[in-house]
Amino acid sequence: MIENMDNNLQEQDPMAQKLSDLKEESLKQEKQVKEKIPVIKCRIKFAKYGVMKFIGHLDIMRFFQKVFRRSGIDIAYTEGFSPHQVMSFASPLAVGVCSNGEYLDVSLYSATTSQDMIDRMNAQSVEGIRILSFQQLPEKAEKAMSAVAAASYTVAFREDVKVRIPDLSKVVCDFYAQDSIIIEKQGKKTVSQLDLKEHIHELYEKDGSVYMLIDTGSVTHIKPMVIMEQLLTFAGITEKPEELFTVTREDTYLKQDDQLYPMNAFCTDFT
C-alpha cells in the first residue's frame, strides 16, 4: 500500500510542477488584464413580474450573475482569491412586489451594442425577468445603490377582494391636499414624528389604482403601504392595506439639481 503511494507521488510530481506553472502564468496574465483594460460602467434596466416576484433580492443577484455567465457578456470581475462580478442594484425590491423599473450597475471589459447585449441577456433569462435597456453610465455617475432618491408605484386593488373606495379620485386628491400627513415612527427607544407629505412628490388616482412618486433610498425610505395605510384611515376603511392591494414599482429615480430623473436618464446607448 505504502509503496504504491510513493510511486504515485513520483509519477505525479511533473504534473504538480505543470499546475504551478499554469497558475503563475495565469496570475501574470490576470495582472496585465487588470492594469491595462479599463472597465466600462453600465446601467441595466429590467422588469420583474409574474412568478419572479417570489424570488428575493439576494437570489435575483445570484440569478443575474448566472445570466451574465451564460450570455457571454464580458463582465468585469473583482480581484482577490475568489473573483466575483462587480454589480450594484439600485433598490432592493420586497418579495411579492413586481416592477417595471429596476436598475442594476455592472462593469464590463468590453461592450457590443446595447440591443445585442439586451437580446443576449433576454435569451438567457426566464419568464418574469426582462431586460429593458443596457446603457453606458457617465464616467462620474454615482453607483446605483447610493444614487437612488425616489420611486414610483402603482397600488392596485386585488382582484380577489371586494373592498373598493368609492370616488377614489376625490379621496386621493383630498388626502394629498392636507397640509401635513403626520405618522409616528417607533425608534429603538423614542417615538418620532414624520410628515409623509414632505416625501410625496406625486399622488393621484389612475385607472382605478393609486399612483405615487415617493422618496426612497438611503436618506428617507418610504414604503408605499405606509402611505396606503394613512389613505385607508382617511377614507374610513379598517382593513389592512396588505390585504387589499398589490404593488408594482413603476420606475426608480435619481436626484440631480433638486430634480428627479429616471435612473437611466443620463445614460447613453452602445451603438
* Site residues, another protein (CB under 8 A): 1-2, 5, 8-9, 12-13, 15-16, 18-20, 22-23, 26, 50-52, 54-56, 59, 62-63, 65-70, 77, 81-84, 95-96, 124-128, 246
- Between 15 and 191, whose beta carbon lies closer to another protein? 15
Least spacing, CB of residue 250 vs another protein, in Å: 20
Give the 3-state secondary structure of the chain: CHHHHHHHHHHHHHHHHHHHHHHHHHHHHHHHHHHHCCCEEEEEEEEECHHHHHCCHHHHHHHHHHHHHHHCCCECECCCCCCCECEEECCCCCCCCEEEEEEEEEEECCCCCHHHHHHHHHHCCCCCEEEEEEEECCCCCCCHHHHEEEEEEEEEECCCCCCCCCCHHHHHHHHHHCCCCEEEEECCCCEEEEEHHHHEEEEEEECCEEEEEEECCCCCCCCHHHHHHHHHHHHCCCCCHHHHEEEEEEEEEEEECCEEEECCCCCEECC
Least spacing, CB of residue 254 vs another protein, in Å: 29
- Between 6 and 257, whose beta carbon lies closer to another protein? 6
Using alpha carbons, list the distances in angstroms from residue 208 to 40, 86, 197, 204, 241: 43, 41, 22, 10, 16
Least spacing, CB of residue 223 vs another protein, in Å: 16
Least spacing, CB of residue 184 vs another protein, in Å: 27
- Between 66 and 164, whose beta carbon lies closer to another protein? 66
- Between 71 and 135, whose beta carbon lies closer to another protein? 71
Least spacing, CB of residue 191 vs another protein, in Å: 29
Main-chain phi, psi angles of 68, to 5 degrees = -60, -45
Least spacing, CB of residue 39 vs another protein, in Å: 15
Contact (CB, 8 A) for 199 and 222: yes
Least spacing, CB of residue 62 vs another protein, in Å: 7
Distance, CA of 105 to CA of 64 (rounded, Å) = 11
Least spacing, CB of residue 50 vs another protein, in Å: 5
- Between 91 and 125, whose beta carbon lies closer to another protein? 125
Record the cell numbers describing residue 150, joined without a space.
425616489
Record the cell numbers describing residue 211, joined without a space.
399612483
- Between 4 and 180, whose beta carbon lies closer to another protein? 4
